Amino acid sequence: MRILGIETSCDETAAAIVEDGQRLLSSVVASSMDLHVKYGGIVPEVAARAQIEAIIPVIDQAISRSKLDWPSLDGIAVTYGAGLGGSLLVGVLAARTLAIVKNKALYAVNHVEGHVYANFITESAASKSYNLPAKQPRFLMLALIVSGGHTQLVLFKNHFKYELLGQTHDDAIGEAFDKVAKVIGLPYPGGPSIAKAAVAGNPNFLSLPKAKLQAKYDFSFSGLKTAVLREVQSLCGKSYDFPSFKLAELLNEAQRADIAASFQRVAVEMVVDKTFTAYQQFNPKSVVIAGGVAANLELRQQLSARLPLPIEYTDPKLCTDNGAMVAALGCFKAMQKQSVANSYSLDIAPNLSM
């Protein structure tokens, strides 16, 4: 079973081919991030325009690098939500058109569920540069999903049979990384910048609060983000009415590193604490992490230290948005005879949830 996966939910234009839900045959990711950095966040109109320019060359490259041709592909999987409307439209319309013209089955993929399926890729014929898990996860599988738009704990009883245990009430963890980076003057996207700055910092420099919520598996990051802002104001000797965008220039490099390390430690502890509680309650056979923040080394280290089972992580390149995760999930949809999407009418679902 060979599926072409197409992902265009945000600023990445990505296409990949995966065989049997586990073998990566090619993966191409183009990003319009450079165009957004100067704005300190993704500009949806700019992202959508970049998608239009990149989509055909990216799909062409994914096919040529796999050394396959169209007749040897069994279907096309595409992200139809959640994401930015304009960006999603480009991928969905490209996938629908190709499915009709090439006479292929079309599978509609939920972006967040797709992130989880990156963990099922265990082999790469595409390139030796992927550091992949030795085995596919087993069910019962606990998934911690940590991205720029989502923070969720999901319990998978099997493929397509899952229960949402909890999610964030406000910011996603990746969003909190991005916002804290902005306050302390580190470049967008904040996740990788904070992780880099934190290496030289003291993770116990600040004592920051962890949100306490009624629901056992829910998250909240807005209080942590505000606590960092208050600490920065006090370090700079400024009150809450001082413009927050002017604080960063008052910090020195050592202070930035200490704040980054302290924030990262606590944000990661917050998700690791709940993952550990869920592990104790459900005793899953596998635990996986998914989404852009799953690339974070501190998260990987804290989780491995806390959980009693050995946990395998996928390559950081498969944690941030990519086509391989969409193709992998598409393979399972095809292998398990899940319903196909209508190539003439599949619509986008920008607010889709798990």
Does residue 328 interact with ligand KG4 by CB under 6 A?
A: no
From 26-34, 96-104, 155-163, 191-199, give the range in contact with ligand KG4 by CB under 6 A.
Answer: 191-199
CB 342 to ligand KG4: min, Å: 26
Task: Read off φ and ψ for residue 225, nearest 5 degrees.
Answer: -60, -45
DSSP string, 30-59: EE-HHHHGGGTS--HHHHHHHHHHHHHHHH
- List the structure tokens of 202: 């003291």
Q: Is 189 in the site for ligand KG4 (CB under 6 A)?
A: yes
Alpha helix locations (H) across the chain?
33-36, 44-66, 85-101, 111-117, 173-183, 190-198, 222-235, 253-282, 297-306, 324-335
**Is 295 a binder of ligand KG4 (CB under 6 A)?**
yes
Report the site for ligand KG4 in 95-154 (rule: CB under 6 A). Answer: 147-149
Residue 155 β-bridge partners: 142, 163
Segment contacting ligand KG4 by CB under 6 A, of 89-97, 124-132, 184-192, 215-223 = 184-192
Judge whether 299 and 293 are in contact, CB under 8 Å: yes
User: What dihedral do alpha carbons 100, 104, 110, 113 form, nearest 10°?
Assistant: -170
Cβ-contact 234, 182 below 8 angstroms: no
Q: Is 321 an interacting residue with respect to Zn ion (CB under 5 A)?
A: yes
User: Which one of the spans 13-21, 216-224, 286-294, 305-313 is the region binding ligand KG4 (CB under 6 A)?
Assistant: 286-294
- Indicate the residue among 110 and 122 with the shorter CB distance to ligand KG4: 110
Cβ proximity to Zn ion, 227 vs 299, nearer residue: 299
Total of chain residues touching ligand KG4, rule CB under 6 A: 19
The closest of 320, 330, 318 to 123, measured between CA atoms, is 318
Q: Is 258 in the site for ligand KG4 (CB under 6 A)?
A: no
33/11 Cα distance (integer angstroms): 6
Tell me the CA distances in angstroms from 25 to 45, 73, 130, 313, 324, one per residue in order: 32, 12, 12, 20, 9
* Stretch of 84-92, 118-126, 216-224, 317-325 contacting Zn ion, by CB under 5 A: 317-325
Cβ at position 316, least distance to ligand KG4 in Å: 7
133 binds, among ligand KG4, Zn ion, none (CB under 5 to 8 A by kind): none
Nearest of 91, 95, 79 to residue 50 by alpha carbon: 91
Q: Which is nearer to ligand KG4, 113 or 258 (CB)?
A: 113
The answer to whether 113 contacts Zn ion (rule: CB under 5 A) is no
Which of Zn ion, ligand KG4, none lies near 332, with the C-beta cut-off 5 to 8 A by kind? Answer: none
The least distance separating ligand KG4 from the CB of residue 163, rounded to whole angstroms, comes to 21
Q: Which of ligand KG4, Zn ion, none does 137 bind, CB closer than 5 to 8 A by kind? A: none
Query: Residue 284 binds which entry of Zn ion, ligand KG4, none, with Cβ cut-offs from 5 to 8 Å by kind?
Result: none
By residue count, the chain amounts to 354
Q: How far apart are CB 87 and ligand KG4 at their closest, in Å?
A: 11
Which 161-180 residues touch ligand KG4, going by CB under 6 A? 174, 177-178
C-alpha distances out from residue 51 to 9, 30, 100, 262, Å:
9, 9, 21, 36
CB of 64 to ligand KG4, least distance (A): 25
Per-residue buried b or exposed e for 17-47, using 16+ beta carbons within 10 Å of the residue's own CB: bbbebbbbbbbbbbbbeeebeeebebbbeeb
Answer yes or no whether residue 147 interacts with Zn ion by CB under 5 A: yes
Helix (H) or strand (E) holding 108: strand 105-110
Longest dimension (CA), the chain: 66
Q: Out of 192, 201, 323, 330, which residue is the one contacting ligand KG4 (CB under 6 A)?
A: 192
Q: Which residue has the tokens 């300190």?
A: 40
Chain positions contacting Zn ion, by CB under 5 A:
147, 321
Chain positions contacting ligand KG4, by CB under 6 A:
10, 147-149, 174, 177-178, 189-192, 195, 291-293, 295-296, 320-321
